[in-house]
Structure 1
Amino acid sequence: MSDKSQFHLLGQQRFLPFFLTQFFGAFNDNVFKNALVIMIAFRVAEDQVNILTNLAFGLFILPFFLFSAFAGQVADKFEKAMLIRRVKIGEILIMSLATVGFYLNSVPLLIFVLFLMGSQSTLFGPVKYGYLPEKLSNHELMGGNGLVEASTFLSILLGTILGGILIAYDSWVPISVAVVCFAASGYLSARKIPLCEAAEPTIKLDWNLWRATAGNLRILPEKRVVFLSVLGISWFWFFGSVFLAQMPNFSRTVLSGNEYVVTLLLTMFSIGIGLGSLLCEKLSGRRVEIGLVPVGALGLAWFGFDLYWVSSQWPVSAVQNLGITAVMSVPGAYRVCIDLAMIGVFGGLYIVPLYSLVQERSDANQVSRIIAGNNIINAMFMVVAAVLGMVVLGVLDMTIPQLFLITVGLHIVVCLYIFKVVPEFILRLIAWLLVSLVYRVKYKGLEHIPADGPVVLVCNHVAFVDPAIIMGRVRRPTRFVMHHKIYNKFGMKFLFKSAKTIPIASAKEDPEMMEAAFASVKEALAEGDVVCIFPEGRLTADGHIGQFKRGIERILRETPVPVVPMALNNLWGSMFSRYDKKVIHRRPRKFMATVELLVGEPIPPEQVTAESLYEQVVDLKHQAEIDNPLLEKPVPENTDSNA
């Protein structure tokens, strides 16, 4: 895996033209949308402003309901670079029609153009997120998605600002020239996007939009973790829509600020989400790390609540339309800005891993249709967010800070539900914290683990944290066979149980439990799962690998599947090993030590014996010690260590 950062992708033809194309598209969308909103606000009769504003929002969202499913089919059926170029030609034609609307000063025509822009965005979305997993490797997905999400919110901010500036001119020419030029720029960059293979060219397009939508939504629940990730993404758009939609009124009615204060607040949020999106790659170790999702969810709740708290205490001002300087002089103003920036940062940490997970875990021939289904549900959640805002602020006559509090409360409930039904998020968080804050983990040969199908992983057993280190680096969800005493230890049984860990005992301890464990392993492999066992049957007491027990041979007799040997190196001597018998005497040993996870090539089941596997794992560890002679330092004699 390359040590280069995500920014090296900006020098790659497989990414840069695509990146520029999607940036110009999102930027142009927001230049046009904001220009239209301001045009409605200042050039239409006051009694029609609310009607036309909500109509514009509805018509922009409507295509996501109508056409997303069909767009997903098209994106999976045809070559994506060609589709992107055709979509961009369509954008040029749509923006040419917009120039007519600006020239005629026709709001109805421009609202129709907004509907067409929504349709164009609907077609582009599944292609956009389907393109990334085709051109980026797994260790580049987080960085690539981070760059895309950061540029998207930056384009929203810049496009919103520029749209307001251009429509302020007493002429239709500046805004018209701008939107056509940006559309043309998107097309020119799209011409450099390299060709892709069609994901599923045999798909028969369903022109019945309602039937296609129903069929598309039926695909989503096929993989539970993907479906719940889609719900998590949609929830973020609900959460973000509530906060962002209220920024103009929040600035005016709560902070007593003018339109420049609105721009400041949006800028803080956009910068925050850009930083959070870019941080994902660094924090994840350049892999799809869903352990960041609970971190993002917690940050959204914390700073969302703090924004409610500080704004609910905001002093009432006798003067309205205050400028940025006046507003920032009020106690708590900097806290509001920090809260919005941190909501953005944690929003990035929350959403980028979810998008990456959907792309990684979806079947390659269904990615675009999964993204299309995601877009449908996103649109639903955004409409519900708008309805919530109208009910809370209009019908119930509550304040904007109270709306924020209600949203944070709902956020906590939704996230607790998702993390309860998919404990992998919390388990990966624990693994991420361990391998990020306690150890520096290097790995070699992870590509040897099959991408699908049943497989048994075997590894030497050095410390209590072995499963967490393996879980933090193996891409596929893994079921561990764990000694029942450890399974019931540390108050984490509920997590082990949720992760479908298989407790086992020796024949002397509990023969029924042992038989149940072998039956569970057989069932897991029959379902195509990854099962990891530690054939030594116990933690090492002296740092050396013990002889492997023959349980692995029984497993393979009953279910012949490939076996992948693995070795952990440089964990002996840590506080989680049995280097010290008495826990009270242990202290943080080898804190931030470099630990290695070494993966060998798969072995056919007919070639596996306990002895041969033992030799394979010993050889992996021995080779690591030769390659890194300074890494595995001899551990001093310790009279308290287990014999």
Structure 2
Amino acid sequence: MTAGQTEMDSSGRGTGGLRSRSFLALLVTQGFGSLNDNVFRWFCVLQGMKVEELKTSTISLGLICFTTPYLLLASHSAYVSDRFSKRKTIVACKFAEIVIMAIAVGAMALGGVDEMLGICLVFVAVFLMGAQSAMFGPAKFGAIPEIVRSEKISEANGMMQMVTTAASALGMFAGFVVSDMADLSPDAPTLAGLLWPAGVLISIAVLGAVASMAIEPLTPADPARQPPNPFQETVSNLALLYQGRPLFRAALGEAFFWFLASLATSAITLMGEQVLGLGQTATGMLAIALVVGVGTGSVLAGMMSGGKVELGLVPLGGSVIVLGSLGLYWVTGDVDPTNSATQVAAVWPAATCLIVLGLGAGFFIVPLVAFLQDRSERRTRGRILAAANFISFSMMIVSAIVFYVVTEGGLGWGAPTIFLAAGLGTIPILVYVLWLLPQASIRMLIWVLSRLIYRVKVFGRENIPAQGGALIVANHVSYMDGFLLLTSSSRPIRFVAHADRVNRFGIARLTRLMGVIPIRSTDGPKAIVASLRQARAAVENGELVCIFPEGQLTTSGRIEDFHRGMMKIVDGLDAPIVPIYLDELWGSIFSHERGRFLWKIPRRWPYPVSIHVGEPQDCPDTVEEVRNAVLALGQKAENMRDVKGPAADTVEYDRRVESPSAEPTGDNDQATPVDPQPETNPVPEADSDDERPAPPLSEDET
């Protein structure tokens, strides 16, 4: 890509990958920004703790000074992010950072004359740095979907979170080190006291500004937008966010993450110095354990998302957060501060628990941020992200106040008690998430279990509509088909399935949570029509519905006839049919290959599976058109396997597609993907009064 080109298509969506110049430059820019934020913040906090008058409140004061601008500038940050190019906004913020660091150095120099005045002015610089970060936030996060392709957004956010947390850890540690080496007291030489902090802070700011220049130009999202009234704009942004309830809930989850992260970071300082008896530098090393966990969890979350926004990671992350928080209480709660042996023995277990806590935090935050970016419209994305930031940083200020109250306000809590409260407080949040996202939670569990059995690749995932209703039509090869399809989509899928299948084995409640639409073939055509109408209503309501129109599992390894009744689901609706072909499943232990189900030795472990998603079909005239689309995907899948070479012990799946060598019929010698078997037992028409029993539409086991 040459200079001057954007990485967006005509709709404003990114077209680049994770190795594109713009995204790598954005990562480096964010890394230097987060590094400098934390070096400066923790340097100021630790210098403030050297002043007796500020010793008990400097941690909360530093957090409040840094986060308050996020509230005051929430509306303007959204306006600037949407009105101007996000690339220009990012560059301007990075050059402003250089100026702010120069102001901070001047405040430090003044501290060599009047220590108290210098510290206070440094906290003013912390406020200005918070203002710069507030303007930078919506632009950097809003730039991700304008730079990278949609299927890479989760991985991009995972990498962004990893870089942010790694830089935060390094910055926190560097802040402790620089604070130890710097001396800004009136008795010290001013030049010697300023050398380390000035050199580190200004150098990092310059490097960040240089990196931002490498981002490719991005077009403004809403160049006609007018400057806002701060109060009205903030209220309007929050109202806009609230209108999209899923986005609002994701913003609340992100806010909870930042509340917990701020509380944990502050508690680590207490734990290191008061519980474990560590110095400032060693406490900084302990904090790195937390950030290493967050970075690792973020990268794993991006990888586990599999090219989609996977909200099922949120409850997984919440569970791990509870485990890590309660573990910290368990390993540090009985430490005797007067007994160095118990302190030393608790350091490594505490570091391990911090890594676990960070791992859960990474799983928790990455899908929420990706969801906010991916599901918000481009024209309003800046406003949505600004509103989310407003809520998040409000909770960070609340966290600072809570920390002060529980430690200095009479409660006298130590770090172990704070972590205990954090773990117990996460449990109701976890329960709410599980209640709110039952299918996503189950899908995540299915993902983990299925990866133990299968190695799944999905092709054409972008063909599954991100919004609106659609009917998914797939071939039916094994009892795992429904589970595998669930893991291939970031959106919930409702399956049409046999009533006697979904109500047995004690899974009725589970299938209700999953929104399964039962169909009762033995109750006659009217019952089938009622189920079809329920499926139609779901599609009309903007949901994804999946049906296996063969009506049964294949017992021969071929695609059987499609029942005509499936067309009643979308007939007359402005909703597409999405064909899907499940390849390589024939021969797995959950298929009927070799004439038996389950009781056979698997040929490979994990078993390779590919899922091919075709382009949505708008208003196909006949069921044969849909079937032919699935057959064509099967031919494409076979061609891809031929290019890769046959896998060992692969069982060929007979799609009954006519080959070019097939005998022509009449004068037409063009091969057509039509199964030669005659159609049997079609589903009755919706207006039929025929009471003959009809075959079911699906035998999906979900």
TM-score by length of 2: 0.82
Deviations 1:388-441 (A, max 9, x none): 434444433444322212211111110110221122431330342244222111
- Whether contact under 8 Å (1:294, 1:429) holds in the other structure is no
User: Is residue 58 of structure 1 aligned with residue 64 of structure 2?
Assistant: yes
State the alpha-carbon separation in 1 of the partners of residues 306 and 343 from structure 2: 38
Specify the alignment match of 2:672 in structure 1: none
Specify the alignment match of 1:609 in structure 2: 622
- Whether contact under 8 Å (2:98, 2:202) holds in the other structure is yes
User: Is residue 15 of structure 1 aligned with residue 23 of structure 2?
Assistant: yes
Partner SS for 2:451: helix
Aligned partner (choices 204, 208, 212) of residue 190 of structure 1? 212
- Structure 1 residues 211 and 589: alpha-carbon distance in aligned structure 2, compared to 1, 3 A threshold: farther
Partner SS for 1:15: helix
- Whether contact under 8 Å (2:472, 2:546) holds in the other structure is yes
- Whether contact under 8 Å (1:9, 1:16) holds in the other structure is no
- Structure 1 residues 194 and 334: alpha-carbon distance in aligned structure 2, compared to 1, 3 A threshold: same
Structure 1 segment 271-290 matched on structure 2, within 5 A: 271-290=292-311
Deviations 1:526-567 (A, max 9, x none): 233332211112222333222111112222334253222211
State the alpha-carbon separation in 2 of the partners of residues 395 and 175 from structure 1: 36
More displaced 10-residue stretch of structure 1: 139-148 or 447-456: 447-456
Structure 1 segment 319-468 matched on structure 2, within 5 A: 329-330=344-345, 332-393=346-407, 394-468=409-483
State the alpha-carbon separation in 2 of the partners of residues 21 and 276 from structure 1: 21
Letter paired with 2:160 = V
- Whether contact under 8 Å (2:275, 2:332) holds in the other structure is yes
Partner SS for 2:571: helix
- Structure 1 residues 610 and 352: alpha-carbon distance in aligned structure 2, compared to 1, 3 A threshold: same
- Give the superposition deviation at 1:635: 8.8
Aligned partner (choices 607, 619, 625) of residue 632 of structure 2? 619
- Structure 1 residues 553 and 12: alpha-carbon distance in aligned structure 2, compared to 1, 3 A threshold: closer
Specify the alignment match of 2:32 in structure 1: 24
More displaced 10-residue stretch of structure 1: 559-568 or 84-93: 559-568
Letter paired with 2:29 = T
State the alpha-carbon separation in 2 of the partners of residues 504 and 473 from structure 1: 24
Structure 1 segment 73-84 matched on structure 2, within 5 A: 73-84=79-90
Specify the alignment match of 2:641 in structure 1: 628
State the alpha-carbon separation in 2 of the partners of residues 329 and 164 from structure 1: 21
- Give the superposition deviation at 1:283: 3.1
State the alpha-carbon separation in 2 of the partners of residues 365 and 560 from structure 1: 24
Structure 1 segment 261-280 matched on structure 2, within 5 A: 261-280=282-301
Specify the alignment match of 2:100 in structure 1: 94
User: Is residue 108 of structure 1 aligned with residue 142 of structure 2?
Assistant: no
Equivalences, count: 618
Deviations 1:22-72 (A, max 9, x none): 111111112221221122122x3x234335553333222111112123212
User: Is residue 550 of structure 1 aligned with residue 550 of structure 2?
Assistant: no
State the alpha-carbon separation in 2 of the partners of residues 398 and 87 from structure 1: 39
More displaced 10-residue stretch of structure 1: 575-584 or 510-519: 575-584
User: Is residue 152 of structure 1 aligned with residue 161 of structure 2?
Assistant: no
User: Is residue 172 of structure 1 aligned with residue 185 of structure 2?
Assistant: no
State the alpha-carbon separation in 1 of the partners of residues 237 and 576 from structure 2: 34
- Give the superposition deviation at 1:101: 0.6
Deviations 1:308-349 (A, max 9, x none): 111123245346xxxxxx67742x432212111121222222
Deviations 1:557-614 (A, max 9, x none): 3425322221112223434334588878467675421112122233331x33122322
Partner SS for 1:557: coil
Partner SS for 1:141: helix
Aligned partner (choices 230, 239, 259) of residue 238 of structure 1? 259
Specify the alignment match of 2:49 in structure 1: 41
Name structure 1 gaps, 5 residues minimum.
1-7, 320-325, 637-641
State the alpha-carbon separation in 1 of the partners of residues 21 and 331 from structure 2: 47
Structure of greater Rg = 2
State the alpha-carbon separation in 2 of the partners of residues 10 and 593 from structure 1: 28
State the alpha-carbon separation in 1 of the partners of residues 578 and 23 from structure 2: 34
User: Is residue 531 of structure 1 aligned with residue 545 of structure 2?
Assistant: yes
- Whether contact under 8 Å (2:440, 2:492) holds in the other structure is no
- Whether contact under 8 Å (2:322, 2:427) holds in the other structure is yes
More displaced 10-residue stretch of structure 1: 156-165 or 343-352: 156-165
Partner SS for 2:590: coil
- Structure 1 residues 24 and 242: alpha-carbon distance in aligned structure 2, compared to 1, 3 A threshold: same
Identity fraction in percent: 31
Deviations 1:454-480 (A, max 9, x none): 322211122232222112113443332
- Structure 1 residues 431 and 137: alpha-carbon distance in aligned structure 2, compared to 1, 3 A threshold: farther
State the alpha-carbon separation in 2 of the partners of residues 317 and 220 from structure 1: 51
State the alpha-carbon separation in 2 of the partners of residues 558 and 9 from structure 1: 39
- Structure 1 residues 115 and 287: alpha-carbon distance in aligned structure 2, compared to 1, 3 A threshold: same
More displaced 10-residue stretch of structure 1: 582-591 or 97-106: 582-591
- Give the superposition deviation at 1:165: 3.3
State the alpha-carbon separation in 2 of the partners of residues 501 and 467 from structure 1: 11
Specify the alignment match of 1:306 in structure 2: 327
- Whether contact under 8 Å (2:68, 2:397) holds in the other structure is no
Deviations 1:489-524 (A, max 9, x none): 454433433343322223x42555433322223323
Partner SS for 2:476: coil
- Structure 1 residues 498 and 384: alpha-carbon distance in aligned structure 2, compared to 1, 3 A threshold: farther
Partner SS for 1:456: strand
- Whether contact under 8 Å (1:427, 1:495) holds in the other structure is no
Letter paired with 1:633 = V
Letter paired with 1:156 = S
TM-score by length of 1: 0.89
User: Is residue 562 of structure 1 aligned with residue 576 of structure 2?
Assistant: yes
State the alpha-carbon separation in 2 of the partners of residues 588 and 223 from structure 1: 46
Specify the alignment match of 2:226 in structure 1: 204
Letter paired with 2:220 = A
Question: Aligned-residue CA RMSD in angstroms?
Answer: 2.8
State the alpha-carbon separation in 1 of the partners of residues 59 and 582 from structure 2: 60
- Give the superposition deviation at 1:80: 0.5
User: Is residue 250 of structure 1 aligned with residue 254 of structure 2?
Assistant: no
Deviations 1:353-404 (A, max 9, x none): 2222221222222222222122112122223333443444443344432221
Structure with more of its chain in helix, by fraction:
1
Deviations 1:70-119 (A, max 9, x none): 21232122210111111122222222221221111122222211111111
Name structure 2 gaps, 5 residues minimum.
1-15, 112-117, 184-192, 655-698
State the alpha-carbon separation in 2 of the partners of residues 375 and 237 from structure 1: 10
State the alpha-carbon separation in 2 of the partners of residues 391 and 107 from structure 1: 23
- Whether contact under 8 Å (2:584, 2:653) holds in the other structure is no
- Whether contact under 8 Å (2:479, 2:591) holds in the other structure is yes
Letter paired with 2:198 = S
- Structure 1 residues 327 and 258: alpha-carbon distance in aligned structure 2, compared to 1, 3 A threshold: farther
Letter paired with 1:523 = A
Aligned partner (choices 138, 141, 155) of residue 126 of structure 1? 138
- Whether contact under 8 Å (1:434, 1:468) holds in the other structure is no
- Whether contact under 8 Å (1:290, 1:428) holds in the other structure is no
State the alpha-carbon separation in 1 of the partners of residues 558 and 148 from structure 2: 40
State the alpha-carbon separation in 1 of the partners of residues 424 and 596 from structure 2: 44
State the alpha-carbon separation in 1 of the partners of residues 30 and 637 from structure 2: 44
Specify the alignment match of 1:225 in structure 2: 246
- Whether contact under 8 Å (2:59, 2:266) holds in the other structure is no
Partner SS for 1:345: helix
